[in-house]
Every structure is written in C-alpha cells, then in structure tokens.
Amino acid sequence: MAGSYFRRRMTAPATFSLFVRQLPPSRGFLVLAGIDEVCRFLERFGFDEDDIAYVERTMGLSPDVLDALRGLRFTGDVWSAREGSIVTADEPLLELTAPLPEAQLVETALLNLMTFQTTIASKAVRCRLAAGDRDLVDFSFRRTQGLESGLLAARSAAIAGFNSTSNVAAAARYDLRATGTMAHSYVQAFPREVDAFQAFAADYPDRTTFLVDTYDTADGVRSAIQVARELRGHGPLAIRLDSGDLGALARTSRGLLDSAGLTAVRILASGGLDEHGIERLLSEDAPIDAFGVGTKMGVSADAPYLDTVYKLVAYDGRPVMKLSTGKRTLPGPKQVFRRNDGDLTGDVVGLREEPAPDGYHPLLECVMRDGAMIAPVTPGDAVRAARTRCAADLTHVPHDNGQLVEPEPLVVSLSASLTALAAEVAAGLGIPVS
Amino acid sequence: MAGSYFRRRMTAPATFSLFVRQLPPSRGFLVLAGIDEVCRFLERFGFDEDDIAYVERTMGLSPDVLDALRGLRFTGDVWSAREGSIVTADEPLLELTAPLPEAQLVETALLNLMTFQTTIASKAVRCRLAAGDRDLVDFSFRRTQGLESGLLAARSAAIAGFNSTSNVAAAARYDLRATGTMAHSYVQAFPREVDAFQAFAADYPDRTTFLVDTYDTADGVRSAIQVARELRGHGPLAIRLDSGDLGALARTSRGLLDSAGLTAVRILASGGLDEHGIERLLSEDAPIDAFGVGTKMGVSADAPYLDTVYKLVAYDGRPVMKLSTGKRTLPGPKQVFRRNDGDLTGDVVGLREEPAPDGYHPLLECVMRDGAMIAPVTPGDAVRAARTRCAADLTHVPHDNGQLVEPEPLVVSLSASLTALAAEVAAGLGIPVS
C-alpha cells in the first residue's frame, strides 16, 4: 500500500482514529495504556538497509519508492487521552494525522501496542477493585508473550494500581518496586525446608518471604516461625501460600503466627488468582495481606483481546467513512468531551474543531507534533502520572460499571455536528445512514 | 535466590524439568514451539553493567556476588523434544542442567518463551485441522502482546501449518511467505472504490487481492470483476471478504466471478475467524479458498495460557520432588519414550538413564551442551524442520484427540523405574506417595 501511495504521490495528510468497537462482555470500562510506548515507537520509526534490501528483493518495488521508504520518518501529529484514563468503546483513544504512507505503515504496530497494554491494564484494574487496599504484586512475566511484553505488562499493571512486580527488569526500566519471594526450587535445593528459610533470612533479613507450601503448608509455617523468631527485630517478614485452599490455609497460618507473637508477619497468597479469586477470599475474610497475580492478569484470561481498530477518517481534507456490515465508522477528526466533574457516564464524541459543551473538557490532547513528543518524561514519571490518573478516574466509576460480574458498559453519545457529518458523508456514498 | 546461591557456593549442577501440568479443556494435544528461541536466549544470556548497577543499588548484594553475576554465562546442557512435535501434559518438554544459579535465573524467560509459542502453535494447528488443504494466512500481528511477539506468533503459526503471514518482518526473519491484501483505508483514500482497485492492480498486477467490503460487498465484487477483466492474463488475483455473513457472501461472490469467466480468482475470508468459524464455513460448502486468521489465533483466545511449570528435579546428584497440594512433581532427570510407529497415545515418561522399551525411541534430544547449541541452523531452516515434524505427527493424532470440540487429552504413563524413584524420594521426605 505504501509503495502504491508513494508511486501515486498520495502523500497528503491522513487522519486515522484508533478506538474499540465493543467492550468484552466482562468489561464495564477500560484503562488506557500504551500511549507512551506508541510515541516512543513513532519517534524511532524507520527502515534500515536490511529492511530495504528485503522488500526490494521480494516485492520488486521501484527505486524511487525504495528511496522514499529509506528516508521515511514519522512526521505527524498524535492526539490521545492520557494514559491511565478510564475510557470505553466507540470513543477515539488516539488519533494520528500524518502523510498517508506514514500513517498507514504504523497501523499494525499502533494497534498491537495499544490493544495489548490496554487489555492488561483493564484486567489489572479489576484486581485492584477486588483487592481494596491490599497489596497486589505482578507475577505475570512467565505467562506474557515474550520478554519485552513482560516489561510492558508489568508497566500496565502498575498503571492500574499494582504495588510491585517480581520482574526486576521492569522495575529497573519503569522505576517500580521489585518484590520477590523464593521459588520452590530454592527450598528443594537445601536438605531441609528450615535450612532454606534460615539461609534466605540470613542473606536478606530485611525482606524475606517464606514460601511455605513446598512439602506441607502447616509444617512450612512452623519452620518459618522458628526462623522468624531467630530473626526478631528484622523485617518486614511474610509467608507465601501458593497452593491448596488459600482461605483455609491463610486462617491456619495466621493463627499459628499470632500464637507465636508474630502478628506483624504478613501473608501473601498466589496461585491462579484473578479478581474473582481475590474477591472470594476477601468475602470469606481470609486474613491475606497481599496477592500475587500472574497468569490470568498477564494474558487477561477471560478477555484476552480488545476489538480495537485504526480507521481512516479523513484524507487530504476529505472526511471518509466505512460502511461494512457491522463495522461502520464515523468520519472526520474527532474529540471526546468529558464532564468537568469527572463523571464518566457523559462522554460526548464530537468533531475535533467543535467547542466543548458547557461543563465539559476535551479528553484528547496533542502528545506529538511534527513527529516529536511534546512533553517527553522519563519512563518512571510516565507510569506515575498514568497511575495517578487511573486512581482519580476510578473514584468516578459508577457501581454498575465497576462490578466484577456482568458489568454494564460505559456508553458515549455523539454530538449533533458529528451526527450531521456522518449523514452527509454517507449520503455522498449513496448509502442512507441508519 | 541467585545471590544466596553464590554466597553459599551452591553452584552444583541442578536439573529443571519444564512441562505442562494439565491441558486446557479445549485442547487434546499441544504443538511444541519455542525451543530454538530458548536456545538463542540461553546463548546470549548475561547481565550488562546497567543491570549490575541496578541490582547493586536496590538489592545491596555483596561485591563477590556482583562479580559472579557480572561474569555469568549459561554453561549448561538442554534436552528437548524437537520443535513441531505433538506433545501433551505430564511429559517433560525441555530439561535443563546447569550450575544452580544459572538454571534458576533463566526460569522465567524459559517459561515465558515456551509457554507463549506452544500456546499459539497449539491454537494454530486447530485452524489447520479445520481448514484441510485450504490456505491459512497469519493476520495476528495487531493483536499479539508487543512487536517481538508478533514475529514469534507468525513463526508459531508457520510451524503449525499456516501458509503465509501478513507480517513482513516475520517473513524476512523466518523465510516465510509474506502475503498481504489492502486495508479499508486504501480503498477509502481514493475517490471511488474502483479507482483504488485499478491503482493497486496496476502497481501489483501479479498479486492483487481486492478488499471488497468497504461499502457494499456485491458492488465491491463487481468493481473487482471490472478491474480483473482489464488485467486478464495477470494474476493470481483474489477478493477478500472481511465482514458480514462470510458463507453467503462467498457464494454470491463466487457466482458473480464465475459468471464473468473469472473462475481462477480466489476468495479469501477473514474477520474474527478461528477453527470453529472455519469449520462452520466449510461444513456449509462455502466456496472459500483461503482464510485469514488473526486475533483469536494470536492470543489463543479460548485457551490463552498453558499451565507450564519449571521444576527442580535434581540438585547435586540428589533427586528432589515437590509435594504441594495438587502440584506434586516427580524426581530426577527424565526421558520421554515414544512408540517407533509414531503412535502418540503410548508415551512413557521414564528416567533419563533407563533404556528405551522395545519398540520405543527417546523423544528428548540434547540440543545444547556446555552452553552452546549442538546443531544451530538458520531461523528459516529451524521453522521448516519444525513444520515438517508437525505435519508428520499430525497424521498420527487419533480422532478423539484431534476433534475440535471436547477433545480427549493425550495421556502418558510412567515407567516402573520412575514410579519407584518417586516412592523412594517421597518416603525420604516422610510423605507416602499416593
């Protein structure tokens, strides 16, 4: 496509709109994530000589097209909602305006980065809703799709309110708190469980979490108590439960710890948990202080993808739309207007140039201009800002949209100007707007 | 953990076994993928000065431990089944023996790379089973978790029998066939649909696929026919259906094409397809020649993760096991014995050193020794070999294990020697083996 555009000098500005067509049934809202990564991708976008040689060899592109690809950089503008914002289907999350070949070539990467990270953040936030003020630890690295994605998943979870990650590389890159426990293999590598506990506590007296279920959980807790008593004065200490009936084991363990006077030793639970598992445990008053959440968050197991699309809405000043059955799109560069009181139920999707209605403000801000990020910040600061935004928006999620089972989806309305433009463009295509 | 091991000179050889605990309910077998990537990861494993500085700053490791980390390389051996093999739960897919800190530090990366790629290949092969000899095109890049994972997903799909990918970078890296169509935006960027078709066909007369559903599908097919007639003598040509009732539209389109004498123009269908959608379309004799499969394959939507584990089975010559509730592991380095006639229903898991039973051969082969790949091949050759292996194994999948709905899981048995060792080790831990 890009070759064809270059050959035909179709390099006028094109605006694409990235949005979600429909929420998964188990989601009442989404947490936007991936914007910072998208901007960094766009800043470094380009083809190297190996890329050019490959397309030359396999696609037979002409020398002038190859030259155009060789020199290609992203030179456009990007508007987006802030990372961490609570958003929903049918409202643009990001709009990009650039010469058509550039805008087209970045499509798949943008969909990939935005879909994945928003998917994970939108799952992770449900764990945060279920966990209340308990700690949440990201354990997802072993289940994400590849190594780089493990870093991005940890970042998405942090935006949604996770307190720490077991992924040390992610902690380093995004200035997160790294917390780890020990593996069963650590326990097994010592002759006895208590030997492993003593060794770890001696080496890390200020942050030991005893994994107590390698052989028998109650015995494991007793070994942890023995070692914790030897360490008295150090801490914080915790035990970790990773199998069996976590609620019952937590009660037993809490009893044993309290009887030993170790009321400050915390209990971390893990093992196949998601928001529903956390809610169930807390509804039965399981004395659990922290949850490790891995697999089901790292792949968003119940809703592993979002129906995101990236659609051309204007080319060379001409608003365009698509009429495919069930996949209609609305024309023109857009804006989302959100109520100033933070109410998330009143979003209005309108045209970019129309003024905000009274009591509303624009949600999309210009984050890149002429191919450069407008206000680049460190990776750590970007996560902190997104996390703050998410926490603020969370206070405005209505009960029906925020419940964990069968949530109502947040919905949006269209401005009169946008509705009129859609009717006009559809009429020009000879199709009545429904 | 690694710091603790180094400090205590616990650097004796450790063997870890990577396996799947239980198949997802919708899987009767798995296609192993990720071995080549794991070996390449292990060959380049190590920490750079930034990594060392970070752990020094945040973890307070001692200078000798930091030195040990600084110089760390993977020096161990890896045994694995060949990529593309059909495998199942409860049999080791990969075993790694290395000094304990090395073997421990690579755990998460190995689980990540093996789980993800095997998950995708095991979904993709179901599309291959459903599609019979129709072409399958990988469209998953926009839905995978990050950019690198898009390349690995394309590779996994190719191993499972996909014919081509829309991911040009993956095609370049793994020597796959790149095939693309046009996007709706391409059609929209021209004043009329027929203008877009004419432009694309003029630019790529030897491989044009007309996307016909941007406005009205039947009209789109008529435009494609008009342009295809002008091009007569070129080809191969195809049309792509991406929305609506794909079966009905395929029949309508086929009728229009055939009436125009364009019997050689193929029909590609896409849009939310997976193995079930493909089977449904083919069961109603939809005249579809090729399927584009993206989202649901790229995240393995119905089974987005596997319950893979990486468990210590021997340390310093001592076989070990774990007895956690529901998560018991078997001790000692192992081998999988498979029947020589290719029958997949008779796998026996035994000890590494025991001889193969009569009529069986070992499935696990040594692929890395002393940290180096034994027979490294190009990325393209690795994919081709795995693809051949998968196709061969597929001919041996029994009906009950291969059906798309409620498949029976392939099961394995244990050798007498392994059963005896497990009883012995458990007895030593004071727990009767069940």
What CATH code is carried by the domain that includes residue A239? 3.20.20.70
pLDDT at residue B121 greater than cutoff 70: yes
Instruction: Kindly report the nearest CA distance between residue A373 and chain B, in angstroms.
Output: 21
Name the residue in chain B with its Cα closest to that of A120. Answer: B145
Count CB pairs under 8 A between chains A and B: 233
Tell whether B315 and B359 lie within a shared domain. yes
Task: Say what the pLDDT of residue A433 is.
Answer: 44
CB-nearest partner of B104 from A178, A183, A325:
A183
CB-nearest partner of B146 from A8, A116, A182:
A116
The two three-digit tokens of residue B253, written as one number: 């389109």
Instruction: Kindly report the nearest CA distance between residue A189 and chain B, in angstroms.
Output: 6
Domain end residue (candidates: B288, B315, B335): B288
Tell whether B106 and B16 lie within a shared domain. yes
pLDDT at residue B64 greater than cutoff 50: yes
Task: Say what the pLDDT of residue A228 is.
Answer: 92
**B204–A4 C-beta distance less than 8 A:** yes
What is the reported pTM?
Answer: 0.96
What's the structural domain count of chain B? 2
In a domain, B321, yes or no: yes
Q: With bands split at pLDDT 50, 70 and 90, how would you rate the model's confidence at A170?
A: very high
In a domain, B157, yes or no: no
In a domain, B144, yes or no: no
> In Å, how far are A31, A163, A174, A253 from A133, measured between CA atoms?
19, 10, 22, 21
- Pick left, alpha or beta for residue A260 (phi over 0 → left; psi -120 to 50 → alpha; otherwise beta): alpha
Tell whether A331 and A410 lie within a shared domain. yes
CB-nearest partner of B145 from A1, A146, A186:
A146
Tell whether B354 and B421 lie within a shared domain. yes
In a domain, A60, yes or no: no
Tell whether A321 and A418 lie within a shared domain. yes
Rounded to an integer, what distance in angstroms lies between the CA atom of residue B26 and that of residue B18? Answer: 21
In a domain, A198, yes or no: yes
**A108–B216 C-beta distance less than 8 A:** no
Tell whether B276 and B316 lie within a shared domain. no
Share of chain B above pLDDT 90, in %: 91
Rounded to an integer, what distance in angstroms lies between the CA atom of residue A417 and that of residue A351? Answer: 7
Domain end residue (candidates: A247, A274, A301): A274
Share of chain B above pLDDT 70, in %: 98
Question: Mutating which of A166, A305, A308, A433 best tests the B interface, going by the most B Cβ atoms within 10 A?
Answer: A305
pLDDT at residue B431 greater than cutoff 60: no
Q: Kindly report the CA angle at A240 between A124 and B98, in degrees rounded to 5? A: 95
Residues of B in contact with A152 (CB under 8 A): 145-146
Rounded to two decimals, the ipTM of the complex is 0.95
**A58–B324 C-beta distance less than 8 A:** no
In a domain, A98, yes or no: yes
pLDDT at residue B430 greater than cutoff 80: no
CATH number of domain containing A377: 3.20.140.10
Task: Say what the pLDDT of residue B95 is.
Answer: 98
pLDDT at residue A430 greater than cutoff 80: no
**A144–B145 C-beta distance less than 8 A:** yes
> CA torsion sign, A280 to A282 to A283 to A285?
positive
List, for residues B193-249, the tens digit of each pLDDT value. Answer: 999 999 999 998 888 999 999 999 999 999 999 999 988 667 789 999 999 999 999
Task: Say what the pLDDT of residue B233 is.
Answer: 66
**A14–B185 C-beta distance less than 8 A:** yes
Residues of A in contact with B332 (CB under 8 A): none
First to last CA, chain A: 31
CB-nearest partner of A185 from B104, B243, B244:
B104
| Choice among A134-138, B78-82, B179-183, B356-360 with the minimum mean pLDDT | B179-183
Overall average pLDDT of the A349-356 stretch: 97
Helices B147-159 and A107-131 sit at what angle, rounded to 10 degrees?
Answer: 100
In a domain, A70, yes or no: no
Residues of B in contact with A431 (CB under 8 A): 215-216
List, for residues A244-274, the tens digit of each pLDDT value. Answer: 999 999 999 999 999 999 999 999 999 999 9
| Choice among A66-80, A124-138, A176-190 with the minimum mean pLDDT | A176-190
Tell whether B262 and B311 lie within a shared domain. no
Query: Tokens 């305006």 sit at which residue?
Result: A97
**B112–A147 C-beta distance less than 8 A:** yes
Instruction: Kindly report the nearest CA distance between residue B360 and chain A, in angstroms.
Output: 32
Overall average pLDDT of the A365-382 stretch: 97
Which phi and psi (to 5°) does residue A89 adopt? Answer: -70, 160
In a domain, A12, yes or no: yes
pLDDT at residue A431 greater than cutoff 70: no
Task: Say what the pLDDT of residue A434 is.
Answer: 42
Overall average pLDDT of the A54-64 stretch: 90
List, for residues B127-146, the tens digit of each pLDDT value. Answer: 999 999 999 999 999 999 99
Residues of A in contact with B327 (CB under 8 A): 242-243
Contact A319, A313 (CB under 8 A): yes
Tell whether B111 and B200 lie within a shared domain. no
CB-nearest partner of A112 from B144, B172, B296:
B144
Domain end residue (candidates: B223, B258, B288): B288
- The residue range of the domain holding A27 is 2-43+75-120+316-428
The two three-digit tokens of residue A142, written as one number: 């072993």
Instruction: Please state the separation of Cα B103 from the chain's center in Å.
Output: 23
Question: Mutating which of A56, A273, A324, A431 best tests the B interface, going by the most B Cβ atoms within 10 A?
Answer: A324
Q: With bands split at pLDDT 50, 70 and 90, how would you rate the model's confidence at A400?
A: very high
pLDDT at residue A325 greater than cutoff 80: no
First to last CA, chain B: 31
Instruction: Kindly report the nearest CA distance between residue A166 and chain B, in angstroms.
Output: 10
Name the residue in chain A with its Cα closest to that of B208. Answer: A1
Question: Mutating which of B6, B65, B185 best tests the A interface, going by the most A Cβ atoms within 10 A?
Answer: B185
CB-nearest partner of B149 from A111, A145, A308:
A145
Residues of A in contact with B19 (CB under 8 A): none
CB-nearest partner of A324 from B107, B242, B312:
B242
What mean pLDDT value characterizes chain B? 95
Task: Say what the pLDDT of residue A206 is.
Answer: 81
Tell whether A260 and A324 lie within a shared domain. no
CB-nearest partner of A147 from B10, B109, B325:
B109
The two three-digit tokens of residue A313, written as one number: 């809405």
**A109–B146 C-beta distance less than 8 A:** no
**A168–B325 C-beta distance less than 8 A:** no
| Choice among A222-236, B70-84, B251-265 with the minimum mean pLDDT | A222-236
**A1–B199 C-beta distance less than 8 A:** no
**A145–B145 C-beta distance less than 8 A:** yes
Task: Say what the pLDDT of residue B323 is.
Answer: 78
Tell whether B245 and B334 lie within a shared domain. no
Tell whether B334 and B270 lie within a shared domain. no
DSSP, res A409:
P
